[in-house]
Amino acid sequence: MKPLRPEIAHLQASLIREVANAGMGREDVLAFWFGESDEVTPSVVRQAAIDALNSGETFYTHNLGLPELRSAIAAYTQALHGDVCAVHTGRVAVTSGGVSALMLAMQAVLGAGDDCLVVTPIWPNLTAQPQILGARVRTHSLTPLDGSWRLDLQALLDDIQPHTRLLVVNAPNNPTGWVLSRSEQEAILARCRETGTWILADEVYERLFFGLADCAPSFLDIARPDDMLMVAHSFSKSFLMTGWRLGWLVVPEALTDAIGKLIEFNTSCAPVFVQKAALAALSNQDRITPPLVQHLMRCRDALVPLLQAMPRVVAAPASAGMYAFFRIEGHPDGLVTAKRLVAEAGLGLAPGEAFSDQARGWLRWCFASRETQRLALGAQRLQDWLRVN
Ligand SMILES: Cc1ncc(COP(=O)(O)O)c(C=O)c1O
């Protein structure tokens, strides 16, 4: 057999999966390793899919998605982000999950050898995808400080150079819960305009924001319609639809046709009954997302103080998202710790190494749990384990 492309042969398998595979199927393990809520999708959304299937909606759609869904997404975006970015239907592409939105955006602008700068720690797919395309991935790391992660803005601006083809930034961030401020976004946008660098903003957690506003600051609040900005979104997190595989991209209008061509060659279109369900999710958003955010805040506030009270644990409450990201002094290898926690404590967490080298020794705990009691039980297991380790 001829060898695989080196980019694929050297691709690192998910370290989250490596830990999960060691514990999956074991009933005694409390699993918090994956980034999803254990709450099922609201019934109004499920019913819309059932109705669509029952009325025979089983065919291909337009590559870019159903026109009514694209226009509902455009209206939703306008309502959240106002008029500066002027998002309209012609700038929206419906994709098969946020992960596909990200891959399509990268396929559109990145080629072999291109310089791609990624702000880390970050969900591992966002460094794997440019590698698959043969791009040269450079990372810019946030800096840990008392359990939170901070951006050295000037250092990031210095790392964005005229040869930098794409900047990938995920804020609100998985795993750290870090949020970009408005002034940081303005500075990054200005620098990328100067260098001619595309920005791919992964804003799938924008609604899971624990500040005063309805959503976290977005590049769409400040960017002009023709800025070299692509924003990736998902129905997974804010609408409890991880298994449905539906997301979208907002791009400059000049890019939309290219994205449509790429969708044809990747997935052709998202399933029509899933798109119908997404329409129901958007029209019921007030009944779905705000209660979810309130619940996530309760989860965060149930878990993080328990972690902070444990000796040697360094943790801070996240400003957004669904994760507690923390480290344990004296346990410098997160992968080893995560595997030991599965085997010895029946606790399933994700290792920091999955998200960046700088996050070695950190652990990610997805706190999106229907029962906060489950979080307390998990914390008890960690505490008991730490007593003897
Ligand atoms: C930062 C980030 N972006 C994108 C996604 C993709 O979500 P999905 O493909 O389920 O829409 C995830 C999922 O965990 C994520 O954490």
CB atoms near residue 358 (< 10 Å): 17
Indicate if ligand 1 lies below 6 Å from the C-beta of 170: yes
Indicate if ligand 1 lies below 6 Å from the C-beta of 33: no
Residue 85 has pLDDT above 90, yes or no: no
Q: What does the DSSP 8-state code read for residue 11?
A: P
DSSP bridge partners of 138? 117
Provide the phi-psi class of 113: left if phi over 0, else alpha when psi is between -120 and 50, else beta: left
> Are 92 and 275 in contact, with CB atoms under 8 Å apart?
no
Indicate if ligand 1 lies below 6 Å from the C-beta of 99: yes
Residue 23's pLDDT is what? 85
Share of the chain above pLDDT 90, in %: 95
Indicate if ligand 1 lies below 6 Å from the C-beta of 173: no
Q: For residue range 11-35, list pLDDT tens digits in order.
A: 988 899 999 998 888 889 999 999 9
Q: Which residues contact residue 247 at a Cβ distance below 8 angstroms, ignoring those fewer than 6 apart? A: 94, 95, 96, 97, 98, 99, 100, 101, 204, 232, 233, 234, 235, 236
Mean per-residue pLDDT over the chain, rounded: 96
CA distance 358 to 124: 13
Residue 229 has pLDDT above 90, yes or no: yes
Please give the number of the atom of ligand 1 that sits closest to the Cα of 235: 11
CA distance 137 to 106: 12
| Alpha carbon of 387 to ligand 1 centroid (Å) | 35
CA distance 92 to 71: 8
| Alpha carbon of 324 to ligand 1 centroid (Å) | 17
pLDDT bin (cut points 50, 70, 90) of residue 140 is very high
CA distance 25 to 380: 22
Residue 307's pLDDT is what? 98
CA distance 37 to 52: 25
pLDDT bin (cut points 50, 70, 90) of residue 1 is confident
Residue 82's pLDDT is what? 84
Mutate to test the pocket of ligand 1, among 95, 119, 234 (most ligand atoms within 8 A of CB): 234
Q: For residue range 312-333, list pLDDT tens digits in order.
A: 999 999 999 999 999 999 999 9
Q: Where are the alpha helices (DSSP H) in the chain?
A: 6-9, 15-23, 43-54, 67-81, 98-109, 125-132, 153-159, 182-195, 253-266, 272-283, 285-308, 334-340, 372-387
What SS3 class is residue 62?
Answer: coil
What SS3 class is residue 32?
Answer: coil
Residue 70's pLDDT is what? 98
CA distance 72 to 233: 14
Max CA-CA distance within the chain?
60
